[in-house]
Structure 1
Amino acid sequence: MNEERLGLRERKKLEAWRTLRTEAYRLFARHGYEAVSVEDIAAAANMSRSTFFNYFTSKDAVLRDPEPGDRERWLALFDRPADEPLWDSLVVLLLEFAKQISEFLTTMKRLELQSPALTERTLDRTHPFYRDLRDWVDTRTKPGDELESALVLNVALAAAETAYAHWEPTVDFAGFLRTALECLERAGAGVARHG
């Protein structure tokens, strides 16, 4: 999303969305996820409860929903060479996507220390990026290779999730990327032996 091209109304909506998310993260960090209500978030953002629901369907959606414009940014990552091996493409896609959402991942990792139940939400494969990634893999899959492609995708996702699970929030994001690359390379060595 090119914010310079947005009209005043769209810019104000984006600003309100970001304010709600920022205040939610601040409150979650201070009081823990479970202790914060939708009303608390709306009040901290100087908005009404109904205004909150104009932007998010629930408190959980504040954590889960991508920022407006994120989808366009991650879809651009799928422009990979057609002859590039699927595994190599997945490594690039997962690492580049992690860079795009580095602030979110860092915030979530810190919040998980206070509210361990949030780990399940962070690694939720129903996020729109994962649906787009599965669709992209399908476009790269020849008929009859669906099992192989699904296995390769799931191994790559498991490697990335393993890196996230072992990442300590005291380690900078570059450290996470190094760990993610190491996990993907180790997993890829096993995938390469079989495909």
Structure 2
Amino acid sequence: MSLEHQQNLGLRERKKAKTIASIQMHALRLFSELGYNETTVEQIAEAAEISPSTFFRYFSSKEDVIITDNYDPLLISAFEDQPSHLTPLQAVRNAMLSTTSDMSGDEMSTTRERNQLVMSVPELRAATLNNLTDTMHMIAEMVAKRVGRDPGDLQIRTFAGAVIGVNISVMLHYAENPNENFSELLSEALNLLETGLPL
């Protein structure tokens, strides 16, 4: 793949991620004003100035607006760009921080509001767990490829599970402490994991 093709792919993925973030931002505002159960897909589409069919190009349902995180392709690309001398955890940390540092203020606000909504709606908590399990498998595959191991290896899965656990703890902390810096929290938490979580 040429550098130009990679850059175009990255731009497309970033544009798609920003469109998704915009729809989520409008949806969250409506959820706050009208209530989650009372808000319709049509209302979200109208607020985001898109058609319902465009909405369904990005999301399969209203629930999906909250649990979808379109930064996975960006994370994979950033991870694959990490220098080979870094440990898998250092490479994951750098990749995660590079994707969060590129988020706008609106995107960070949307992330925090999504986390807060997930915490308050039981159906969304359950759906988010499925989504995080998928992300754990993705991280296991990324890391396994980097170190030449099987993604089903217990050590690889444990590593991926630990990274997801850190991510969950940071998301919950950030939802409760919105004035803190998400990227700094994530970096600190992953550093704790790297040092063996001394207590």
TM-score w.r.t. length of structure 1: 0.68
Unaligned segments of structure 2, at least 5 residues: 1-6
Q: Which residues of 2 match residues 39-58 of structure 1 at below 5 A? A: 39-45=42-48, 49-58=52-61
Residue 38 of structure 1 aligns with an amino acid whose one-letter code is V
Note if contact 2:67-2:124 (Cα within 8 Å) is conserved in structure 1.
no
Distance 1:15 1:138 in 2: 29
Shift of 1:48: 5.1
1:154 pairs with 2:154: no
CA offset digits 1:19-68 (Å, max 9, x no partner): 6444322211222322212233234345554453344321122233445x
Q: Secondary structure at the match of 1:160?
A: helix
1:164 pairs with 2:167: no
Moved more, 155-164 or 112-121: 112-121
Note if contact 1:39-1:49 (Cα within 8 Å) is conserved in structure 2.
yes
Q: Corresponding residue for 2:96?
A: 94
Distance 1:46 1:54 in 2: 14
Residue 37 of structure 2 aligns with an amino acid whose one-letter code is E
Note if contact 2:97-2:187 (Cα within 8 Å) is conserved in structure 1.
yes
Q: 1:115 to 1:105 in 2, by over 3 A?
A: same
Note if contact 2:166-2:189 (Cα within 8 Å) is conserved in structure 1.
yes
Q: Secondary structure at the match of 2:195?
A: helix
Note if contact 1:141-1:149 (Cα within 8 Å) is conserved in structure 2.
no
Note if contact 1:77-1:93 (Cα within 8 Å) is conserved in structure 2.
yes
Unaligned segments of structure 1, at least 5 residues: none
Distance 2:158 2:28 in 1: 35
Instruction: Give the aligned length.
Output: 182
Note if contact 1:163-1:179 (Cα within 8 Å) is conserved in structure 2.
yes
TM-score w.r.t. length of structure 2: 0.66
Q: Corresponding residue for 1:181?
A: 187
Shift of 1:121: 4.7
Q: 1:99 to 1:134 in 2, by over 3 A?
A: farther
Q: CA RMSD in A?
A: 3.8
Residue 89 of structure 1 aligns with an amino acid whose one-letter code is A
- Higher gyration radius (CA): 1
Distance 1:61 1:137 in 2: 27
Distance 1:116 1:108 in 2: 13
Note if contact 1:94-1:160 (Cα within 8 Å) is conserved in structure 2.
no
Note if contact 1:19-1:45 (Cα within 8 Å) is conserved in structure 2.
yes
Distance 1:118 1:99 in 2: 26
Note if contact 2:75-2:96 (Cα within 8 Å) is conserved in structure 1.
no
Residue 80 of structure 1 aligns with an amino acid whose one-letter code is Q
